[in-house]
Amino acid sequence: MIKYKVTLTQEERDQLISMISKGTHTAQEIRNAYILLNVDQSGLGEKRTNEEICRVLKTSMRMIDRVKQRFVEDGFEASLERKPGKTIRKKVDGEVEAHLIALSCSKVPEGFSKWSLRLLADKMVELAYVESISYETIRRTLKKTN
């Protein structure tokens, strides 16, 4: 049973062949072009199984399925490009960094000989400079600023 059936138009086939043979394209775009040409069900090329394509292109079955799915659901252009990744919002901006540096240079709490990363993280949350922060983020920020 074929879950996602890729049927290319002649224009799309020509574009893929042109993309493979010349131009400046990323390796991922070229790999996806090869996958699309090999899974095409329009009857113009020879029929290959996903296992054969996987072996020849040295890629995973999952990759072939993802390219086919993207072609069916999002269209020709989207199947060639990388899916946009998630953007991660940084917790430490300039203001938080300034508070952290000032805190690390301040007097150590009573009962401690020096600031630890965990102690700094806890104090930053306690003083409401950030909602939450890990000691590893504290370490990276302090390392960056020396």
Q: Is the dihedral of CA 97, 101, 102, 108 positive or negative?
A: positive
Q: Is pLDDT at 119 greater than 90 in this prediction?
A: yes
What pLDDT, on the 0 to 100 scale, is given for residue 44?
62
| pTM: predicted TM-score of the whole model, two decimal places | 0.56
Q: Is pLDDT at 71 greater than 60 in this prediction?
A: yes
Domain end (from 55, 80, 105):
80
What pLDDT, on the 0 to 100 scale, is given for residue 103?
93
Q: Is pLDDT at 1 greater than 60 in this prediction?
A: no
71 and 100 within one domain: no
69 and 110 within one domain: no
105 and 65 within one domain: no
88 within some domain: no
Distances 55 to 38, 59, 94 between C-alpha atoms, Å: 12, 7, 50
pLDDT category of residue 136 using cuts at 50, 70 and 90:
very high
Domain end (from 46, 80, 114):
80
Q: Is pLDDT at 2 greater than 80 in this prediction?
A: no
33 within some domain: yes
Between 2 and 36, the higher pLDDT residue: 36
Report the share of the chain in percent with pLDDT over 70: 95
2 within some domain: no
pLDDT category of residue 28 using cuts at 50, 70 and 90:
confident
Q: Which letter, b or e, does each residue of 122-140 get, where b requires 16 or more Cβ atoms within 10 Å of its Cβ?
A: ebbeeeebbeebeeebbee
19 and 45 within one domain: yes
120 within some domain: yes
Helix H or strand E encompassing 20: helix 10-21
Residue 110 lies in domain: 94-145
30 and 63 within one domain: yes
What pLDDT, on the 0 to 100 scale, is given for residue 46?
64
145, 137, 40, 25: which is closest to 90 by C-alpha? 137
5 within some domain: no
Total tally of structural domains belonging to the chain: 2
Q: Is the dihedral of CA 105, 106, 107, 108 positive or negative?
A: negative
130 and 70 within one domain: no
Compute the distance between CA of residue 50 and CA of residue 35 in angstroms, rounded to an integer.
9
Q: Give me the mean pLDDT over the 114-125 stretch.
A: 94
Which tens digits make up the pLDDT trace of 79-113?
888 777 777 777 788 899 999 999 999 999 999 99
